[in-house]
Structure 1
Amino acid sequence: MFGIESRILILILVGVWLLYFVIHSILASLAVKRWFAARWPTLMPAYRLGFNGLALILLIPPLYLIFSATGPYLWQWTGIGWWLVNGLALVAVFGFALSLRYYDGGEFLGLRQWRERERCVEDQENFHISPLHRYVRHPWYSLGLVLIWTRDMNQEFLATAVMATLYFILGSRLEERKLIAYHGDIYRRYMDRVPGLMPLPWRYLSREQADRLEHDSRNG
């Protein structure tokens, strides 16, 4: 179905994404952060800023490969399907915008750590359950999957969608190891009640249950 050059391009793209995800996961790990803090403590306040900056720079090669590709579409949404998937994508964008109200932007970007010369390895945000976190533990990953899989697909974008999906599944598990290290039994209780990426009608927290978990976290 596809020529040799096209297959080579896909293999290169998969390899570039794999390298990106490996580097991202390694640098996000507590072990590497602790090693860095022990070796260069005066640079630790800039770690998060550098991490985010490098993540953006390393996105350039795979995005270039995707948007320079000229291969045919495997499928394109049309008619009612177009309205449906783009409606879902619009909801996902709205979800992202809504969720920003419940994140510490300075903490996420690394600006607060730099401004306050924070050398602590662990994130400093308290345990907090936003409205979206009552239904999935990783709402940004879930919304990202909606945006990815509602696009028209050529072979390069399909390879990217598969790689991103696998990384979100694996990355969410790696992230939860850190969250358990930060929050202990409270986060385990939260995991027991709320699914990871896919909302399930029978597994969610009411507002009262979320408030109770937050209360227990503050007073535990």
Structure 2
Amino acid sequence: MDWAAHGLYALAWASFGLGHSVLANASVKRRLHTLGHSYRLAYNAVATVHIALVFAAGHLLLGEAPPFPLPVWARAALFDITGLGVALMLWSARYYDMARLAGTRQLREPDAPEDEDLRLDGPHRYVRHPFYATGLLIVWGLAQDPLGLATALWASVYLVVGAAAEEHRLLRLHGRAYAEYRQRIPGFIPAPLIGRRPLSPQK
């Protein structure tokens, strides 16, 4: 195993996580106040370029390693897991204000709140972090070679740490309502799979 290549790829992922955290920091937002309502859009643009560079580094460092010698049924099962993750992510996107997440709504509607109300419908009835949970399915389904496995590992670390940071933000934003929700619904594993009841459908 090329430990140096894996170490450099891990550092690339660490740079992405650190950069994401720095740009999301409230004090940094205040310093970049000149961006105004374009901040979220700029934040997403920087993050997109950064993660693309991380993936490019991964391909340069580990992309030539051969796939693992998996049986056909195992490889098919992993692709099915990835497909399920993509399908569930697309379904979950229906329950988010994607224009707000992208940062385009802030440009069209400058007076609109930066954050959505607490969502308890759709996939949120089963898990607190639908995008992170489906992202885990996707990356682990693609872990069929050294690059895919390393990506799954470091992406998982990023998603788990990112979810923890998101929890703190949501607790500050929604207070007791989110604290009660967090006690009832798991973060990544759908509630029925661990013997919990999902939330009742919202009318």
Superposition pairs of residues 33-182 of structure 1, within 5 angstroms: 33=29, 35-36=30-31, 40=33, 42-68=34-60, 69-73=63-67, 75-118=68-111, 123-182=114-173
Deviation at 1:184, TM superposition (A): 0.8
Tell me which amino acid in the other structure corresponds to 2:173.
Answer: Y
Structure 1 stretch 105-114 or stretch 22-31: which is displaced more? 22-31
**Unaligned stretches of 5+ residues in structure 1:** 213-220
How does the TM-score come out when normalised to structure 1? 0.81
Q: Which residue of 2 aligns with 1:190?
A: 181
Deviation at 1:10, TM superposition (A): 1.5
SS of corresponding position for 1:59: helix
Q: Which residue of 2 aligns with 1:217?
A: none
Q: Which residue of 2 aligns with 1:9?
A: 5
Task: Write the distance in 2 (CA, Å) between the matches of 1:80 and 1:16.
Answer: 33
The structure 1 residue matched to 2:24, chosen from 21, 28, 37, is 28
Task: Write the distance in 1 (CA, Å) between the matches of 2:76 and 2:151.
Answer: 23
Counterpart contact for 2:80–2:141, Cα < 8 Å:
no
Counterpart contact for 2:9–2:54, Cα < 8 Å:
yes
* Bigger relative contact order (CA 8 A; separation at least 6): 1
How does the TM-score come out when normalised to structure 2? 0.88
Tell me which amino acid in the other structure corresponds to 1:48.
Answer: R
Q: Which residue of 1 aligns with 2:199?
A: 206
SS of corresponding position for 2:114: coil
Tell me which amino acid in the other structure corresponds to 1:51.
Answer: Y
Bigger radius of gyration, 1 or 2?
A: 1
**Unaligned stretches of 5+ residues in structure 2:** none
Q: Tell me the C-alpha RMSD between the 2 structures.
A: 2.1
Q: Give the paired residue count.
A: 199
Tell me which amino acid in the other structure corresponds to 1:101.
Answer: R
Deviation at 1:152, TM superposition (A): 4.1
Residue deviations 1:177-216, cap 9 Å, x none? 11111111000010000011122422242325xx39xxxx
Counterpart contact for 1:77–1:152, Cα < 8 Å:
no
Deviation at 1:31, TM superposition (A): 4.2
